[in-house]
Amino acid sequence: MTYLDNLGDLLDPAKDPAKVALIDLADPATPREWTHGDIDRAAAGVARALVARHHQRGDRIGILAANRGEYLAAYLGTMRAGLVSVPVSFKLPRETVDYVMRDAGVRLVFADAERKNACPSDIPIVEIDGGSFERFLDPGPFESVVPSAGEIAMFLYTSGSTGRPKGVPLSHEGQLWSIRYRLAATPDLDRHRFMVAAPFYHMNGLATAKTVLAAHASMALLPQFRAPASIDAVARHRCTWLSGVPTMLALLVRETEMLAKVDLGAVERIGIGSAPLTQALIDTANAIFPNASIANGYGTTEAGPIVFGPHPLGAPRPDIALGYPIEGIRLRLVKDGDRDVDEGELELWTPALMQGYHRLPEKTAAVMTQDGYYRTGDVMRRDEQGFYYFVGRTDDMFVCSGENIYPGEVERMLEGHPLIQQAAVVPVADPIRGQKPVAFVVPAPGAALTPEAVKDFSLAHGPAYAHPRHVEIVSELPLAGTAKIDRRLLMERAAALAGGDGLPPDVTGLAAR
């Protein structure tokens, strides 16, 4: 892929343009196939049309839509024209969508019919449903703009779980570095068919789709993640590679009745990232996908989707390990000012690292060190072989009776219970201890699970101070727009329980229940 300078030029002109690149499952009953040539021509038509509308180099172009072939064509064509693509989450409230578009300075929006009314009324809209998108295109060849060093290709906005979303400007060269690495690390990517359901406004889904196009592979594309639809797509289209976040995999494995009726034997690889993966979920997935290897990945919006890979000496990677640092990046673990520890906050530099948040110098200064590293906020542990493991988030950590509690550690312990499929732990205020843990637990299908059994297991397998003082059994955990667990909603639920005297008092000792 050395011919490439512009992130919009992922499709290799030297390879067969008639090969199917994308099976669009917006309507599963009548899937639409896009060849690599179809996407290339549509992207060129977008670029020509945007230039004809007199958009200037660097103008920001928004996309507010569910996953679809037109989305990728708009995304690629925008960058080919030297403009900046701004995927926007349609899971955000309308006022936040308005904020994101105005913060980015969006000049035009590609939107589908379902979401166009969420766009600011004074920004022009190009509909990408039906025939509107085709009528917008200006067919013909287009010579892509050659970006200058560090030129911005796209903005992604962080999820905004702790405030308004932050704009992350990302360069052509930085994003291309990560794609080149993936292609070099897996030379046979072109033979794979991916299942992609993670949203394109998130790094996970977008990075996977770009890798598929650059590798001349193919994908079955769902507009949004739904577990039954994903299982059907994997079986019907013989997908060999699944990608997404752990919550998506956890929801898939709950569909036991449907899973028993379909053939998933084509699946060879499952790549999971963007959130911690537990041993219990890996074991369950291994039973359902017996021919598949499962990789636990790590990346950030700010520093790119790739940080860890295989061990350079061939040491086998433990199941829940993230891997060994890949060549070309720099990282360190920091704790209390010590930059040479085996457990601490990950500070990171990669060629894909952002230059800083958009129009937020104070927030940029808070996450960037003076020597150019990004403070990820992720606490990690390094073992004696150099493999890295996720421990928790610095901003998720809370203190109970003077002890630091990382929810991720408690969740992994709870999910070791044979009757627990998923667990989420959040803090609630406590007048005696400062804060105390509350657990929301999804039982395994058909399991009879009680809160007392969960507490007993926690006390037997973890430190007493970290055991959940209240357990709520739920059928599912709420999801945020990125398909991760919505911890903010769970914290509100826990606070409501406490405020309504739904939580028992905790004054009888560390092991009090």
Return d(Cα 50, Cα 47) in angstroms, integer.
5
Helix (H, G, I), strand (E, B) or coil at 234: helix
Judge whether 373 and 347 are in contact, CB under 8 Å. yes
The larger pLDDT score, comparing residue 93 to residue 231, is at 231
Environment class of 93 (CB within 10 Å of its CB; exposed 0-12, middle 13-18, buried 19+)? exposed
**Mean pLDDT, rounded, for 335-347:** 95
- Examine the pLDDT at 506 and tell me if it is beyond 60: no
The larger pLDDT score, comparing residue 503 to residue 13, is at 13
- Examine the pLDDT at 156 and tell me if it is beyond 90: yes
Judge whether 201 and 208 are in contact, CB under 8 Å. no
Return d(Cα 115, Cα 107) in angstroms, integer.
17
What confidence score (pLDDT) does residue 174 get?
97
Per-residue model confidence as pLDDT tens digits over 343-398: 999 999 999 999 999 999 999 999 999 999 999 999 999 999 999 999 888 988 99
Return d(Cα 138, Cα 53) in angstroms, integer.
11
Return d(Cα 251, Cα 237) in angstroms, integer.
20
CA 273 to chain centroid: 6
Mind giving me the DSSP string for 24-51? E-SSTTS-EEEEHHHHHHHHHHHHHHHH
- Examine the pLDDT at 320 and tell me if it is beyond 70: yes
Superfamily name with CATH number, domain 1-19+28-191+200-205: ANL, N-terminal domain (3.40.50.12780)
What confidence score (pLDDT) does residue 513 get?
30
Return d(Cα 476, Cα 121) in angstroms, integer.
36
Superfamily name with CATH number, domain 398-499: ANL, C-terminal domain (3.30.300.30)
Over 157-195, what HEC string results? ECCCCCCCCCEEEEEHHHHHHHHHHHHHHCCCHHHCEEE
Return d(Cα 160, Cα 178) in angstroms, integer.
24
What confidence score (pLDDT) does residue 430 get?
87
Return d(Cα 1, Cα 183) in angstroms, integer.
8
**Mean pLDDT, rounded, for 150-160:** 90
Return residue ranges of the chain for CATH 3.30.300.30: 398-499
What confidence score (pLDDT) does residue 301 get?
94
Place of tokens 């988030």: 393
- Examine the pLDDT at 460 and tell me if it is beyond 90: yes
- What pTM does this model have? 0.87
What confidence score (pLDDT) does residue 456 get?
95
500 pLDDT band, cuts 50/70/90, is low
Per-residue model confidence as pLDDT tens digits over 234-292: 999 999 999 988 888 888 988 999 999 999 999 999 998 877 777 888 888 898 999 99
What confidence score (pLDDT) does residue 146 get?
97
The larger pLDDT score, comparing residue 1 to residue 144, is at 144
What confidence score (pLDDT) does residue 157 get?
96
What is the CATH T-level fold of the domain 308-393, as seen in this structure?
Luciferase; domain 3 (2.30.38)
Return residue ranges of the chain for CATH 2.30.38.10: 308-393
Other CB atoms within a 10 A radius of the CB of residue 496 amount to 12
In whole numbers, what is the pLDDT of the chain averaged over residues? 92
Q: Which is nearest to 466 in space by CA: 377, 398, 391? A: 398
Instruction: Kindly report the length of the chain.
Output: 513
What confidence score (pLDDT) does residue 511 get?
31
Return residue ranges of the chain for CATH 3.40.50.12780: 1-19+28-191+200-205
Return d(Cα 237, Cα 249) in angstroms, integer.
18
- Examine the pLDDT at 3 and tell me if it is beyond 60: no
Instruction: Please tell me the number of Cα atoms within 13 Å of 49 on its side-chain side.
Output: 23
